Homo-oligomer: A and B are copies of this chain.
Amino acid sequence: MPATSPPEPYPEPSWWGWGDPARVPALSEAVIGLLRDGLGVREAPGRPEPVRGEELPPVRLSHASVAALAEIVGAPFARSDPRARLSHTRGKSTPDLVRMRAHDLAGAPDLVVLPGSHEEALAVLRFCARRRIAVVPFGGGTSVVGGLEPRAQEFAGLVALDLGRLDALSELDEESRVATLGPGLRGPQAEALLGARGYTIGHFPQSFEYATLGGFAAARSSGQASAGYGRFDELVVGLRVATPAGTLELGRAPKSAAGPDLRQLVLGSEGALGAITSLRVAVRPAPEARVYEGWRFRSFWEGAAVLRRLAQDGPRPTVLRLSDEAETALNLAQPGELGGGGECLAIVGFEGAAGEVEARRAAVAEVLRGAGGQSDPRAGEEWERDRYRGPYLRDALLCAGALVETLETAAFWSSLRGLYERVGAALRESLSAAGTPPVILCHISHVYAAGASLYFTVGCAAAPDPVAQWRAAKAAAAEAIVAAGGSITHHHGIGADHAPWLADEVGALGVEVLRAVKAALDPAGIMNPGVLLPLR
């Protein structure tokens, strides 16, 4: 009998960092020297002190409300102990982590509620709507855009609706290659359940180890293998959603002309309309073969032209990404070579049936070689080994006194170069103000026929107020993105952090449309207030 309940999840993530604290790497002397000499980092704050329970803000929810919610989900699943509250406070952006490390715990939920079914989730939302209690749907807790920090001050309290108990593979339709899965499954759990039956979703974002399927859907996640498998929003064919106004059940066919596609309203709704309680997701046979290789190009734009060609004319690799000169140099992790070659590293990966992978790999290699690419197989192995480690490195760098953060955008190909230049300049200008210039790295992380995404990583010495330091840089980058014609986010979502730019993305009227949708599904406005839609 194949598994239908999930394997054990990864170790609980730390409250002050990305994931399993045991996996935060020690920095080499070379890196520490680089931080000191290259970025001007002076003070290393190290790991934070443990939080004491009394440091959490007092529970604002009434006893009666806590009791009523415990009645709905069962007492063990309505938790107001400090550990539960702490682990559901905010997400994993650098400002989130910096504030957690400083024991700034404002906005911690009053109660963590874990519904065991769609019906329980509905009942929780109905109750909270009646009592004007704000609700933040909580999956893996990995938002990096403030998606887990609703503005709940004007409400009677804040409930974190943790969907972790909705973690079943409840149906696998092998004929249609569609799996019905619970939103609370973390990436590795979902893959283990499906893998036991010979299938994969193929969605492997950097957050894979901790993020959940519900979060992938709610935030329109895109994985490292999106060139081959598609974005998560392209893989979702059906959704069940609990909203304060009732149930949405969507997706009677893969594609339809039955009016607007309402699945596409739920995808990207980031808990502001309701909570996804079940997903139907396209699956594929688990690949027999996986190969990742590096290819080096003389410049970022020479490499980008090749990526564009592959995205437009094929053959299309499963993984296709390209680092700019700075990122390529730093990723070597050999400071001596910094600025040396001016080369740009592409990662090109193939997953599928063995023969098919070999054929596609050979065809792609021919294109890449014809465009001046130099094969570097070792770089592919290194990328595979490190593909989920970036956030742990950030943990270590934050401990060492650096400010490290990422942001991402997307545009049509014809706007990509201007977008790259403007965003880089904006970040450089903003972050140089405090002293030594930042390191700004970028890669193309996802490609489409019509355009691509840009993913920036920024490092600099942390200022005395690193949150304000980053907020200013982020605002400058956002303005640059808007001016250059890019999207404010390609796969991180709007959250609270991007909400001020939502109107730049969809227009003031587009924002009004979303407000109208929210009013229909969440008339009391309790769902993740301030997330997705800016407060008026």
Contact = CB atoms under 8 A, between A and B. Distances in A.
Given A264-B264, A449-B177, A253 B507 contact: no
A491 interface: yes
A508 to B, nearest CB: 8
A513 B517 contact: yes
Interface stretch (A23-31, A54-62, A181-189, A255-263): A255-263
Most chain-B CB neighbours within 10 Å: which of A220, A269, A506? A506
A411 B308 CA distance: 34
Contact of A512 (B451, B453, B492, B520): B520
Contacts of A266: 260
Contacts of A173: 412-414
Nearest to A353: B313
Nearest to A243: B509
A245 B509 contact: yes
B513 A254 contact: no
A493 B282 CA distance: 24
Please tell me the size bucket of the interface on A: 35 or more
A422 interface: no
Interface stretch (A4-12, A326-334, A461-469, A481-489): A481-489
B252 A411 contact: yes
A401 interface: no
Given A178-B412, A413-B176, A450-B237, A258 B506 contact: yes
A323 to B, nearest CB: 20
Interface in A95-113: none
Nearest to A173: B414
Contacts of A246: 508-509
Contacts of A485: 252
A35 interface: no
A529 to B, nearest CB: 15
A347 interface: no
A93 to B, nearest CB: 15
A245 B249 CA distance: 29
A510 B239 CA distance: 12
A519 interface: yes
B222 A255 contact: yes
A206 to B, nearest CB: 14
Given A412-B173, A486-B252, A517-B513, A257 B449 contact: no
A256 B220 contact: yes
A267 B258 contact: no
A221 interface: yes
A231 B255 CA distance: 9
A156 interface: no
A412 B509 contact: no
A46 B177 CA distance: 50
Contacts of A519: 516
A265 B411 contact: no
B252 A505 contact: yes
Nearest to A502: B259
B413 A506 contact: no
A498 B249 contact: no
A268 interface: yes
Nearest to A257: B220
A279 to B, nearest CB: 13
Interface in A250-308: 250, 252-262, 264-270, 282, 284, 308
A386 interface: no
Given A178-B450, A260-B517, 17 more contacts: A176-B451, A178-B412, A237-B412, A247-B507, A252-B486, A252-B487, A254-B410, A254-B412, A255-B410, A255-B451, A260-B266, A262-B506, A262-B510, A509-B520, A512-B520, A513-B520, A516-B517
24 contacts: A176-B414, A176-B415, A178-B450, A219-B257, A233-B255, A248-B506, A252-B486, A253-B409, A253-B453, A253-B486, A254-B448, A256-B489, A257-B490, A257-B494, A258-B488, A258-B494, A258-B498, A262-B506, A262-B514, A265-B513, A282-B450, A509-B521, A513-B520, A513-B521
